[in-house]
Amino acid sequence: MKMSSTKRYERLTEMMGNGDINRRSFMALLGCAGLAAGVTGGAMTGFSRLAMAQGKSLYFEGWGGVVSEALRKYAFDPYEKKTGNKVVDSTFGGESEVLTKVKAAGNTNGHNVLHSSGVDWYKRWIDNGYGVKLDESKIPNLKLVMESIIAPFHKITPGYLSGVPYDYGTTGIAYNTKYVSKAEAEKLGANLLLKKDLKGKIGGWNDWADRAWYGALQSGQDPNNITDWDAVWAKVREHRALVAKYWTSGAELMSLLANEEIYVTEAWSGRVAALQAQGHPIAYMDPKNGLAWMEDMFVLKGSPMAEAEELLNFMLAPKTAIAVAVGQHYPPSLDPSKVDMPDAVKNLPAFDPTGKLTGLVFRDPNKWNPVEKVQKKMWNRIEKGA
C-alpha cells in the first residue's frame, strides 16, 4: 500500500526523534520521500519549512574543495556542536547558478548563506532585491574586521550590511617551475599566458570577466577603465588559440596543474598555496594590476536571521576565522592590528599585514556590472571559436 506523504513525513520525524537517523539523513530522506510520493509545490515546501524550523537548519552554499573542507571542519562542525543548530552545506557551480534557481522558484527557500564572490556579486544580489539588513549588535566580532574590507560593501548598502566580509585573495598567475623560470615569469608578467611555445600547456578560467581583465592587462589598459574593448578581445582570442583547457572550479584548476596537463594559467592564490603545501613545483605571481578580490558570507532574504547572525558571529571569532584561513589558504578579513595572526596566516599569498589593502586592485562593480550583458556575449562567442 502506498504511504501518503504526510505519513512518510511523520514516520521520518519519529525515526529522527528516536535517534534512528541524524538530522542530515532526515533532510535527505525527506527529499526522497517527496519525490517518491510525487509531492511538489506547496506540500513539499511546507514540509521543508517545518523540518527547518524543528532543526534550526541553515542552508549554506560555497565553492567546494579545500575551501568547503576547511569551513566544515573548523566552522560548521564546531558551530553545530556548540549551538545544536545545523548547517546543511553544498557546493555551487557559481553564483549565477544560484540566482537563476532563486528567480525560477520565485523564492529563496533552501538558500540562506552564500560564500559570495565580492562586491560585484554583493551589488547584484542587492539590486535583485535579495538582501537583508543584518543586526550588527548580534555580530559583535564584526568589530574585529578590517574597515578597508568593509568599506566597499558599505558603498553599495550605506548604513547596513547584507553579508560580512570573510576572506580575500588574488587571481594571479601560476606556473610550473620545471618548465618556466621565475625570471621569465616576472619578465613576461600577464603576457606569460600568451607564450606561444607553451601552446597546449596553457590554461585559463572560464569566466568572461577574468578573461577580459587579463585581456586588458595584455593590451596595456587599466582593467577598471577599459577604453578599447576590441583590443581586449583580440588578446583573448590570442590566448584562446594557445589554451589546452578552460577550467571551471578550484578543484579542476588544482588537478590540471598537479597532473601537469597545463604548465601556466591564471589561478586563485589559495589554491596554489594548497598545491605548494602538497609539494607540487608550482610558483605564483601577481602581475602589475593583477586582480584582487574579497569574499563575503551573504545572507539571503527570507533566511532565519537569528541563526544566520549567530553563525556569522561564530565564523568571525578569531579562533574560527584563523583556523579556516589556514585550512583554505586565504587570509581572513580580520584586522591584523586588532588580532594577532600566526605565521601560518602571515605567510599566505596576498596577506596584507597593514590591514589597509592599499596594494591590491579590486574590480569596480560600477564599471564592470553595467557592461556584463554585452561583453559576456563576446566571451561566449570567442570561447566557441568565433
Same domain, 35 and 108: yes
Domain count along the chain: 2
Contact in structure between 109 and 49 (CB atoms under 8 Å): yes
Could you tell me if 114 and 253 lie in one domain?
no
Residues 285 and 311 in one domain: no
**Is residue 211 a part of any domain in this protein?**
yes
Give the C-alpha separation, 255 to 112, whole Å.
30
Q: Are 333 and 153 in contact (CB under 8 A)?
A: no
Residue 141 shares a structural domain with residue 13: yes
Does 162 share its domain with 36? yes
47 assigned to some structural domain? yes
Distance CA 160, CA 176 (A): 44
**Could you tell me if 215 and 312 lie in one domain?**
no
The string of pLDDT tens digits covering residues 187-219 is 999 999 999 999 999 999 999 999 999 999 999
Residue 55: per-residue pLDDT? 54
Question: CA-to-CA distance for 323 and 363, rounded, in angstroms?
Answer: 27
What CATH number has the domain bearing residue 272? 3.40.190.10
pTM summary value = 0.81
Measured CA to CA, the distance from residue 307 to residue 309 in angstroms comes to 6
Give the span between the Cα atoms of 354 and 93, in whole angstroms.
33
Return the number of other C-beta atoms located less than 10 Å from residue 25's C-beta.
13
Co-location of 147 and 196 in the same domain: no
Count of C-beta atoms within a 10 Å radius of residue 135: 11
- 191 within some domain: yes
Assess if residue 358 is contained within a domain.
no
Amino acid occupying residue 376 = K
- Domain identity same for 271 and 210: yes
Amino acid at 83: T
Encoded amino acid at 119, one letter:
V
The three cell numbers of residue 219 are 593590451
Residues facing residue 170 across a β-bridge: 292
* Judgement on whether residues 325 and 199 belong to the same structural domain of the protein: no
CA nearest 310: which of 137, 190, 144, 173? 137
CA dihedral sign of residues 40, 45, 46, 52: positive
- Domain containing 155 equals 5-168+295-353
Query: Which run of H or of E encompasses 296?
Result: strand 291-299
Residue 237 lies in a domain: yes
Q: Which three cell numbers stand for residue 197?
A: 611555445
- Residue 309: inside a domain: yes
Tens-of-pLDDT digits for all 386 residues of the chain? 334 444 444 444 444 443 344 444 444 445 444 443 333 344 444 444 444 445 589 999 999 889 999 999 999 999 999 999 999 999 988 899 999 999 999 999 999 999 999 899 999 999 999 999 999 999 999 999 999 999 999 999 999 999 999 999 999 999 999 999 999 999 999 999 999 999 999 999 999 999 999 999 999 999 999 999 999 999 999 999 999 999 998 889 999 999 999 999 999 999 999 999 999 999 999 999 999 999 999 999 999 999 999 999 999 999 999 999 999 999 999 999 999 999 999 999 999 999 999 989 999 999 999 999 999 999 999 999 98
For residues 188 and 99, state if they share a domain.
no
Check whether residue 222 and residue 239 sit in a common domain.
Answer: yes
Tens of pLDDT along 57-106?
999 999 988 999 999 999 999 999 999 999 999 998 889 999 999 999 99
Task: Report the DSSP pairing between strands 282-285 and 113-116.
Answer: unpaired
Q: Are 286 and 187 in contact (CB under 8 A)?
A: no
Amino acid at 53: A
286 shares its domain with 272: yes
Neighbours of 226 (CB within 10 A): 19
Helix (H, G, I), strand (E, B) or coil at 201: coil
Q: 351: burial class by Cβ within 10 Å (0-12, 13-18, 19+)?
A: middle
CA-based nearest residue to 171, from 118, 219, 127: 118
Q: How many CB atoms lie within 10 A of CB 227?
A: 9
Return left, alpha or beta for 83; rule: phi > 0 is left, psi -120 to 50 is alpha, else beta.
alpha
Is the residue at 311 inside a domain?
yes
Q: Is residue 228 part of a domain?
A: yes
